[in-house]
Amino acid sequence: MMISIDFECKKEHRFEGSFRDYDAFQDQLERGMIQCPVCASPDVRRIFRGCSINSKTASTGTETPQMNLFQAIRTVNNFVRSNFKDVGGSFAETARSMHYGLSEEQNVFGTANHEEIKELADEGILVLPMIDPDRFEN
């Protein structure tokens, strides 16, 4: 079972974090590991929202095991690595070139630092960071 917690950074970016349990959340918070995925600010606050409780139903033996968040992230990452072109450290330059019509659009992935990602976002170029679940899974 995982818990989900909603956060907001100082720049009012809202995001959600998933944790194995409350102790894992507390540990990551105290170690400064919870950061805004948009601007990388570690200055975040917890937003309290309504909650829901899912009760377990009787097992019929036919249920398909549910994928946890970390397994889902690995699945997405594997899909991207298998189906997108790796442009390495020229990711920001490549994304910008495609956005402005200077090169052919294609599915790419690569590396970029926080400043490059922020600049892309400021230009209206939306990118999705690939998360390494091994860094966060407890």
Give the pLDDT confidence of 10-37 residue by residue, as tens digits: 998 988 888 888 888 888 888 888 988 8
Give the C-alpha separation, 106 to 18, whole Å: 31
Residues 125 and 78 in one domain: yes
pLDDT for the residue 1: 63
SS3 for 43? Answer: coil
Alpha-carbon distance values, 107 to 84, 91, 120, 125 (Å): 5, 11, 16, 14
Q: What is the band of 49 on the pLDDT scale with cuts at 50, 70, 90?
A: low
Least confident of 15-24, 64-73, 112-121: 64-73
89 inside domain: yes
Q: Which residue has the higher pLDDT, 52 or 64?
A: 64
63 inside domain: no
52 inside domain: no
Residues 127 and 87 in one domain: yes
- Of 119, 76, 79, nearest to 99 by C-alpha is 119
93 inside domain: yes
**Segments forming the whole domain that contains residue 18:** 3-47
Which residues are bridge partners to 7 per DSSP?
15, 46
